[in-house]
Amino acid sequence: MRKTWFWNVDPTWENFSYLLEDQHRAKKVENAFLENKYKKSCLYFAGVSIESLLNKIMRTKLEDEGKSENKIYNTLRYEGFKGKLKKWPKKVFDSSLTLTDKESNLFDLFETFYEMRNTLTHPKHEDHSIYVDLEMTDVSEIKETVSKILLQLFILRDKIFPYWLLGWNFIGFNRDDNHPVILNNSQFLHALSRMGIINSQTAWSADHSDEWQIKNMSSYKSFLSLKKKLNSYPLNEENSENYEGPILTKNWWEY
């Protein structure tokens, strides 16, 4: 079978971005019908955001071990979401994820909706009790929990986390001002430099850039600190006469 690859495709980034957009919209709607729609979407994208990264991590491990594609595919397919979440970090990194009781309860709800996604078209449950849980679900908690879990996984794998986990995205793919685009952390530092958050030498020097990322993008504490600093700025970097590339913005869905 012919393999196909696309630029600007990353399932974890895409699903997490969809989660951010829909949790924002869930807070803005004026009726329960639309609120339920966006909450269901948030729960779905919460689960697949995490699972897509877990699958990628396990695929890399199995490929490094020389496993066949059939073996890899079946491993990713037949292990349940909870099993992946609880067992795979320990298996790959020899380190378990840290979850509070509240976060564990949210994951139970993620799994419930994740398993229900194929039955929602043809409901099989006798009553609507799941909607009570849905009504009580705080979409902000969903986002924060997913952010925390993804952050732990990225740090275990890469030692640093990607900029988009902070909730900001670049827009301007193929000169389309409305189209989000995934870039690397180096480009993120250049955006911070254009915004005046860091100096240009930190962005342009590879060594300084690496040092800055290790210091500021390698822990939950630094994540919260950088997020707070970013959120104190306007919603996007200002356009510069000398720069015509993608710009960093917070509410990219509004463009």
pLDDT digits (tens, 9 = 90+) for 69-94: 999 999 999 998 888 988 999 999 99
pLDDT over 90 percentage in the chain:
58
pLDDT value of residue 21: 95
**Residue 89, domain member (yes or no):** yes
pLDDT value of residue 238: 67
Same domain, 93 and 208: no
pLDDT value of residue 61: 97
**Residue 146, domain member (yes or no):** yes
Same domain, 32 and 123: yes
> Cβ–Cβ contacts within 10 Å for residue 110, how many?
26
Rounded distance, CA 209 to CA 190, Å? 10
pLDDT value of residue 165: 97
Same domain, 168 and 80: no
Q: What is the mean pLDDT of the chain?
A: 88
Same domain, 70 and 91: yes
Same domain, 110 and 230: no
Partners of 169 in beta bridges: 249
Q: Mean pLDDT across the stretch 184-193? A: 95
Rounded distance, CA 58 to CA 189, Å? 29
Whether 214 shows a pLDDT value over 80: the answer reads: yes
* Residue that terminates a domain, selected from 110, 125, 158: 158
* Residue that terminates a domain, selected from 130, 158, 186: 158
pLDDT value of residue 120: 53
Same domain, 148 and 212: no
Same domain, 231 and 203: yes
Q: b/e string for 140-156 if b means 16 or more Cβ within 10 A?
A: eebbebbbbbbbbbbbe
pLDDT value of residue 118: 52
Rounded distance, CA 185 to CA 217, Å? 10
**Residue 235, domain member (yes or no):** yes
pLDDT value of residue 28: 92
**Residue 2, domain member (yes or no):** no
**Residue 6, domain member (yes or no):** no
pLDDT value of residue 86: 87
Same domain, 171 and 150: no
pLDDT value of residue 119: 54
pLDDT over 70 percentage in the chain:
91
Same domain, 137 and 224: no
Same domain, 76 and 191: no
Its pTM stands at 0.90
Q: Mean pLDDT across the stretch 174-195? A: 92
Q: Which domain holds residue 224?
A: 164-254
Whether 202 shows a pLDDT value over 90: the answer reads: yes
Number of domain units in the chain? 2
Q: Mean pLDDT across the stretch 126-143? A: 82
Same domain, 201 and 90: no
Same domain, 44 and 138: yes
> Cβ–Cβ contacts within 10 Å for residue 66, how many?
7
